[in-house]
Amino acid sequence: MEYRILGSTGVEVSTVGIGCWQMASDGSWGKDTNDQQSIETIHKAQDLGVNLLDTSASYGNGHSEQVIGQALNGRRSNFVVASKVKPDVEENDGEGARKQIIEICEGSLNRLKTDYIDIYQLHKDPSDLQMPFVMDAMNLLQQQGKIRFIGSSTNNIQILQKLLKYGDISVAQIGYNLINRGGESTLKFAKTNNIGTLIRMPLASGALTGKYFNVDLNFTPGDVRETRFTSEKSVAGLKRLSDLLFLTKNKKRTMIQAALKFVLDTEGVCSVIPGAKNITQLQENAGSVNVESLSMEERQLAMEIAGEVGSFSNLGVIQS
């Protein structure tokens, strides 16, 4: 495994982490996950040198955090735990947002069975009115030692600039992948300001795994991919994305590893956090650090193919 320093935090994170939404087992990513499988995956992550876990209080109403808490029993010091908070109040309710952040953090700490969260991130862009209240809560939690570093899950540079007026934003979680490269400007901003970066959706919710190229799609109700992948334009997009398989020809890398390697080789990226439902998926993701980088010619052609798909389908749309 490779490691990079996460901006100004000084924290060393594995270049491949685990996005733990799938561990919510709430049907958002199909029905083929269970808690024991998730716990075993996290334990295997330690063996592989993967030390970064990203979750949220909203994933399965906290179930993802609960599973992580069970998995980290006796192992907490071996992992960097990142979670997110999304206060559910009106945009003009600053005090309500402040109170909810503190309350939600306490719940996360209990579920994670820890007395601190390494990286605590805003899961939703606050309104201008909410910003001082939101950052007051985050700063307080940091002063109390309940969180180590403050982050924000956003591609919006203006939001980051405004938040920085009220406190230290150490980490930005940026949506970025081969189809949607709109986060490049945010990556540059983060690098200039020594802000660490975690990349969400590096596989575009699975569109870049190769699993859905030229196949009949059948998702269970409630699966986040059901509407995104099954429209006429999306099906056409997935078919066009199959042309990316040239990246695997005569190369010792899978489509997943090629897509992750593309992101890892992008300037300003500290770590990618693809989901992993099981040990097999985790091993393939982690293996991306050891495969051959895409050549300049391969990167250019891949960007042309994926960029075309992004222009007419919603396969690359970045979710929070």
Token couple for 179: 């189809």
Are the beta carbons of 224 and 28 closer than 8 angstroms?
yes
Least confident of 78-82, 108-112, 219-223: 219-223
On the question of pLDDT at 274 being above 90, the answer is yes
Query: Measured between alpha carbons, how far is 108 from 222 in angstroms, rounded to an integer?
Result: 24
On the question of pLDDT at 185 being above 80, the answer is yes
Mean pLDDT within 137-145: 99
Query: Measured between alpha carbons, how far is 320 from 317 in angstroms, rounded to an integer?
Result: 10
The confidence band for 222, taking pLDDT boundaries of 50, 70 and 90, is confident
Mean pLDDT within 268-284: 98
On the question of pLDDT at 319 being above 80, the answer is no
The confidence band for 203, taking pLDDT boundaries of 50, 70 and 90, is very high
On the question of pLDDT at 315 being above 70, the answer is yes
On the question of pLDDT at 59 being above 80, the answer is yes
Query: Measured between alpha carbons, how far is 91 from 109 in angstroms, rounded to an integer?
Result: 26
Mean pLDDT within 171-188: 97
How far is the CA of 167 from the CAs of 139, 236, 311, in angstroms?
7, 45, 37
The confidence band for 29, taking pLDDT boundaries of 50, 70 and 90, is low
Task: Report the pLDDT value the prediction gives residue 219, as an integer from 0 to 100.
Answer: 80
Are the beta carbons of 175 and 201 closer than 8 angstroms?
yes
Residue 48: alpha-carbon gap to chain centroid: 19
Q: Give the start-to-end residue ranges of the domains of the chain.
A: 3-205+254-292
Condensed to tens digits (0 to 9), the pLDDT of residues 107-133 reads: 999 999 999 999 999 999 999 999 999
On the question of pLDDT at 21 being above 80, the answer is yes
- Interior CA angle at 56 toward 76 and 173, to 5°? 95
Task: Report the pLDDT value the prediction gives residue 250, as an integer from 0 to 100.
Answer: 85
Mean pLDDT within 256-285: 98
Domain 3-205+254-292 has CATH 3.20.20.100: yes
Instruction: Please give the mean pLDDT across all residues of the chain.
Output: 95
More confident residue, 93 or 252: 93
Most confident among 7-21, 29-43, 206-220 (mean pLDDT): 7-21
Mean pLDDT within 136-150: 99
Task: Report the pLDDT value the prediction gives residue 27, as an integer from 0 to 100.
Answer: 67
On the question of pLDDT at 234 being above 80, the answer is yes
Residue partners of 177: CB distance under 8 A and separation at least 6: 199, 201, 202, 203, 204, 208, 259, 263, 316
Task: Report the pLDDT value the prediction gives residue 320, as an integer from 0 to 100.
Answer: 61
Task: Report the pLDDT value the prediction gives residue 317, as an integer from 0 to 100.
Answer: 77
Q: What percent of the chain has pLDDT over 90?
A: 85
Residue partners of 39: CB distance under 8 A and separation at least 6: 67, 70, 71
Query: Measured between alpha carbons, how far is 159 from 153 in angstroms, rounded to an integer?
Result: 10
pTM of structure? 0.95
